[in-house]
Chains A and B, each alone.
Chain A
Amino acid sequence: MSKHLLEVRNLRIDFPTRKGILTAIDDVSFHIDEGEVLGVVGESGAGKSLTGAAIIGLLEPPGRISGGEIVMNGRRIDNLEYEEMRKIRGREIGAIFQDPLTSLNPLYTVGRQLTETIMTHTDMTPTKARERAIELLTEVGIPAPETRVDQYPHQFSGGMRQRVVIALALCVNPKLVVADEPTTALDVSIQAQIIALLKKLCREHGTAVMLVTHDMGVIAETADRVAVMYAGRIAEIGPVRQVVKQAKHPYTEGLMGSIPMIGHTDEKLRQIEGSMPRLTSIPTGCAFNQRCPKAFDRCFKERPDTIAVDGTEVACWLYDKEAAHV
């Protein structure tokens, strides 16, 4: 196995509160290889955004990494000094957030925000940086970039703004981009365009993407592999086709089943009973045990190990007999 671009090993994120310590991310491990798109999917509160925040080193206090490590290109990045991490941010790891309206500073022109980022990480002159900025705007599909570059964010529509955000995230060619719900705040008609753009640019530049979303459809379209998160843990992780068509974890099964499919006219929309447990009341054993139709007594006692099955990794006792532990 070639060295992974990014490796997250046994990551643990805690929130000290007055009621005790809350574990929001509990022993999460995964990797992303160069150029590949890893989808991270799960309900709100499952911990997807937190994981992304931890990777770019912008975990908001009082949250803190209390265990595990994050390794990029063989180098540990979760314990770096602020200034060291700052140099990595933007340059090697880019980020895209959910709301394009609030991601851009309303008082600066789009061009200024681009050139500033470019000049922070490279030693281009202002003129060259501006040229590069216009190039980037063209790449992301903004018409008349020479005029647009001097306009303010409020003069762009939602979709256009997100394109600018993408340009900003990719402007110094990072190896990895953490995209946190990049299309959730956009009109449905534009979502597809933005996803397509992201996909295209990352293929062209060889950028890996960690695509965090709760939209399974986007994952199916875009990702190479997908990790399914539940209550701060990974339930299943594997190649996207496999996970979608042959879900192994009962939670993933439930997720796939709840997506309305064109052509299936007879069934009611399937739902998973109950709701994800709150951080303060995660049950002993498997976090999904209270909603799982296939749970048995071991599920209530021990947290499942991650087990490799047919190229996918599942955290479920159902597969214990079949394959060796990972």
Chain B
Amino acid sequence: MTDTTSLKVTPSKPSLLFRIWDHELCYSFRNSPLTVAAAVVTLLLILAAVFAGVIAPHNPYDLASIDLMDSELPPVWVEDGDPRFLLGTDNLGRDIYSTILYGMRISLLVGFASVVFSAVIGISAGLVAGYVGGKVDAVIMRIADIQLSFPTILIALLIDGIMRGILDREQHDAMIIPVLVLSIGISNWVQYARTVRGSTLVERNKEYVQAARIIGLHPILIMIKHVLPNVMGPVLVIATLGLAFAILTEATLSFLGVGMPPTEPSLGTLIQIGNDFLFSGVWWIAIFPGMTLAILVLAVNLLGDWLRDALNPKLR
């Protein structure tokens, strides 16, 4: 009998870095220039917001440094522009560029915080509903269904309204950021819950979960160890797209006057302020924050879209 051992030499295992680079995900990322651009833009904007304190030439919250005489100056490249204020100033004399940086910081903060909030509520609800089942499941899903039939903006507005009723004006304004996070967070938990619940239901019936229960492992450990890894992909997609949506919602609420006040403006507030001045030709107060907002949300959306397509096994 001939020796049938393999004649090939096993190559040495490629390094971890190479394996990551070569992974499906990275490949699809590298191959889509749009996505790479989106990621770069998002990263830049986030960094700019985080380091706003360092980068911004002025501090828009420091009332002492603002001079009303400087108000409504155009961007530096237009006649009458002032090199101190690259993108011009608003009606109070604040530097638009700096205010955009600080405003973006708030937008991102509220965005991330509300996504985390939604995710925590949603994932917990989904886990509980899927694992415990029965009445608890029915109740949670019923609440989810009811909430789902209402547009998020409405729910966010409603919760804000309720908070205004509970707190008096001063308290409300002082706590505006947590209130916003709460409003937007509550309005968005359902998608997480549904996805996680579905996954939990699938896993719950598998043998190793049953086995773990018999051994006496705590159900929470079981859930965390087995369900969460499976569900991280879709949750990440929901979170990324949810971030874009949260930023938009915060901007909308601020624009409508129920979000960040003009003293601590987010991008939405700036646009609202600028809206009044558009017709008199003072366009920079609204346009620059508007562009920033649009680019930020677009970039995050692109990332989320790519993530969804990349993680979708069916499309490969």
Physical contact A–B (CB less than 8 Å): yes
A: residues with CB less than 8 A from B are: 18, 289-290, 293, 295-297, 300
Q: Which residues of A contact B27 (CB under 8 A)?
A: 18
A290 close to B6 (CB less than 8 A): yes
Contacts A/B (CB < 8 Å), 10 sampled: A18-B27, A289-B4, A290-B4, A290-B6, A293-B1, A295-B2, A295-B4, A296-B2, A297-B2, A300-B7
Question: How far, in Å, is B14 (CB) from chain A's closest CB?
Answer: 14
Contacts of B7 in A (CB 8 A): 300
Binding site for A on B (CB under 8 A): 1-2, 4, 6-7, 27
Cα(A232)–Cα(B4), bound, Å: 22
List residues of chain B with CB within 8 A of the CB of A289. Answer: 4
In the complex, what's the smallest C-beta–C-beta distance from B11 to chain A, in angstroms?
A: 12
Bound complex: CA A71 to CA B91 (Å): 79
Given A295-B4, A296-B2, 8 more contacts at CB 8 Å? Answer: A18-B27, A289-B4, A290-B4, A290-B6, A293-B1, A295-B2, A297-B2, A300-B7
- Chain A residues contacting B6 (CB-CB under 8 Å) are 290
Of chain A, the residue at the smallest CB distance from B28 is A18
| A300: chain B residues within 8 A (beta carbon) | 7
Q: How far is the CB of B134 from chain A (nearest CB, A)?
A: 29
Residues of A within 8 A of B1 (CB): 293
Report the bound CA distance from A303 to B119 in whole Å: 57
Cα A289 to Cα B4 with chains together (Å): 8
Give Cα A295 to B1, complex, Å. Answer: 8
Identify the closest chain A residue to B5 (Cβ).
A290
Look across to chain A and name the residue whose beta carbon is closest to the beta carbon of B27.
Answer: A18
- Give A63 Cβ to nearest chain B Cβ, in Å: 14
Complex-state Cα separation, A293 to B7, whole angstroms:
17
A18 nearest CB neighbor, chain B only:
B27
- In the complex, what residues of A have CB within 8 A of residue B2's CB? 295-297
Separation of A18 and B27 alpha carbons in the complex (Å): 9
8 closest A-B pairs (Cβ-Cβ)? Answer: A296-B2, A295-B2, A297-B2, A290-B4, A295-B4, A18-B27, A300-B7, A290-B6
What residues of B have a CB within 8 angstroms of the CB of A296 in the complex?
A: 2
Closest to A19 in B: B22
**Bound: A29/B6 CA distance, A:** 30
> CA of A289 to CA of B7 in the docked complex: distance in angstroms?
12
The closest CB in chain B to the CB of A297 belongs to: B2
Least CB distance, A103 to chain B, in whole angstroms:
19
Distance in Å from the Cβ of B131 to the closest Cβ of chain A? 31
A293 and B2 alpha carbons, distance in the complex (Å) = 9
Whole-angstrom distance between the alpha carbons of A290 and B2 in the complex? 11
Separation of A18 and B6 alpha carbons in the complex (Å)? 26
Q: Complex formed: what's the CA distance from A300 to B4 in Å?
A: 10
B4 — which chain A residues lie within 8 A by C-beta? 289-290, 295
Which of B4, B6, B7, B27 gathers the greatest number of chain A CB atoms within 10 Å?
B4
Closest Cβ of chain A to B246, distance in Å, is: 36
Cβ contacts under 8 Å, A290 to chain B: 4, 6
Min CB distance, A304 to chain B, in Å?
A: 15
Q: Separation in Å of the B7 CB from the closest CB of chain A?
A: 7
